[in-house]
Structure 1
């Protein structure tokens, strides 16, 4: 199995880290390239032992998968730079938000193309990843791709149109939780905790709640911890009074809408 990562940003690094850490792939089976940042490529080589694609791009011809991991605006240029080196057995896997399978195929032809939306929790093997693929991706290629993505977390196969909503929930989701954690930490300090203690308490609270959510329904867990007229009820009442659920829905919808916009911008 050989993979070439076209683009070497945080998402590519998270996936590389996950694959190597889980021993799904060896460093020498992974190659990286980008448009101009040689220092970034050298860092990934030194940090993980992966290969840097040579000037002739010979690694592309032998690749089972090519991971497009750049900003959406850079996809067309990246495809233009590699399409002459592609073979029909290579699956192009794009993690560029909003860029459709049809758009990619207009640039490279009827290649097997898949779109995946992981998140940066891939680095610790806990990504929530969605994937959709074109009709040219064979059953065997689907199996191999799911195996790769499963090694960095859970995988949900969806219709391509559903990737916009999935991006809003899971692709961008970790950032919402980090933002909420920041707010809780700051609120703890405002109510008398030290910064260190508040951070420690928030971190463990998230960790414990995440583990509990693997076992029971979210709403049932909330009910169990909420005593009538108790402290938790007071906090939840404040969230409800301030339209917390509406805010979250607007947040996810905004991210999903931006995903759709990106798809229209880069055709």
Structure 2
């Protein structure tokens, strides 16, 4: 069990993780500490909503933490690492939830061989339903990775992957909820155009997504198999699917995921280059 988890950065992902951990009872509010660069209103919000500890004194926040979670914006990572490097202890696990920033870059900028682990959760962490990919850096051993898994399993499911795969996974599950919401928006608009009551439509759409996800999880059948089971020749579903195919919807979604992954590579290229230079 952890005695303290500290966050450097207080954005939406930090809040999602905090919400999930507290909801699961994994940590108490006074076992979570948060700091950020300059947004004091943001810290006050987290303190007021979740009764966590906060301080602009980075040393105070980091001291005694089992895990230090880096959750600032990627563009602020260099300054943040330089600001905290004097406080990080070799036995602390540094966890980054930043897209594109390599573990090597973090280790080099911190200037010590502390274990660094990258985690790519998504915002469903807020309700304990995140899909989180985890990858350890060169100084992270199995024990460190297991501890990070234990933490992130409080906010959903986890999978340990190679760090090289995190760019693609960022586009897949990291950004994935946004794609689902995008489809939900379209379904709501279609229902509105058809004159269906908005509240009725919303409930039906939500349950449709929930039911389909549960079918995938429970039956273990391939998506194509489940789709074909409800696509009767000449029926309504076939008419709808044929329209999706006409507009190349599947190709568009695949391209969407690839482009999000490519953006992760682009965001991380400078950090990769710097870590290679300084090794």
TM over 0.5: yes
The TM-score normalised by the length of structure 2 is 0.92
Matched, 1:247 2:252: yes
Secondary structure of the 2:101 match is coil
Distance 1:21 1:82 in 2: 29
Kept in 1, the 8 Å contact 2:36–2:56? The answer is no
After TM superposition, give the deviation of residue 29 of structure 1 in Å.
0.9
Aligned residues: 267
Distance 1:111 1:53 in 2: 23
Aligned to 2:55: 53
Matched, 1:132 2:135: yes
Output one character per residue of 1:74-98: Cα deviation in whole Å (capped at 9) or x when no partner.
Answer: 1111111111011001111001100
Output one character per residue of 1:186-220: Cα deviation in whole Å (capped at 9) or x when no partner.
Answer: 01111221222222221121121121121122222
Equivalent of 1:77 in 66, 79, 96: 79
Identify the range of structure 1 (23-32 vs 139-148) with the bigger mean alpha-carbon deviation. Answer: 139-148
After TM superposition, give the deviation of residue 239 of structure 1 in Å.
0.6
Distance 1:84 1:53 in 2: 17
Distance 2:257 2:107 in 1: 28
Query: Which runs of structure 2 are paired with 1:1-267 in the superposition (5 Å)?
Result: 1=2, 2-53=4-55, 55=57, 57-109=59-111, 110-216=113-219, 217=221, 218-266=223-271, 267=274
Kept in 1, the 8 Å contact 2:35–2:58? The answer is no
After TM superposition, give the deviation of residue 54 of structure 1 in Å.
5.1
- Which 4+ residue blocks in structure 1 deviate beyond 3 angstroms? none
Secondary structure of the 1:96 match is coil
Secondary structure of the 2:89 match is coil
Structure 2 residues without counterparts, runs of 5 or longer? 275-279
After TM superposition, give the deviation of residue 240 of structure 1 in Å.
1.0
Secondary structure of the 2:6 match is strand
Structure 1 residues without counterparts, runs of 5 or longer? none
Secondary structure of the 1:261 match is helix
After TM superposition, give the deviation of residue 71 of structure 1 in Å.
1.1
The TM-score normalised by the length of structure 1 is 0.97
Distance 2:175 2:20 in 1: 18
After TM superposition, give the deviation of residue 56 of structure 1 in Å.
5.8
Secondary structure of the 1:116 match is strand
After TM superposition, give the deviation of residue 243 of structure 1 in Å.
0.9
Secondary structure of the 1:214 match is helix
Provide closer, same or farther for how the CA distance between residues 33 and 56 of structure 1 changes in structure 2, counting only shifts above 3 A.
closer
Q: What's the C-alpha RMSD, in Å, of the aligned pairs? A: 1.2
Identify the range of structure 1 (5-14 vs 196-205) with the bigger mean alpha-carbon deviation. Answer: 196-205
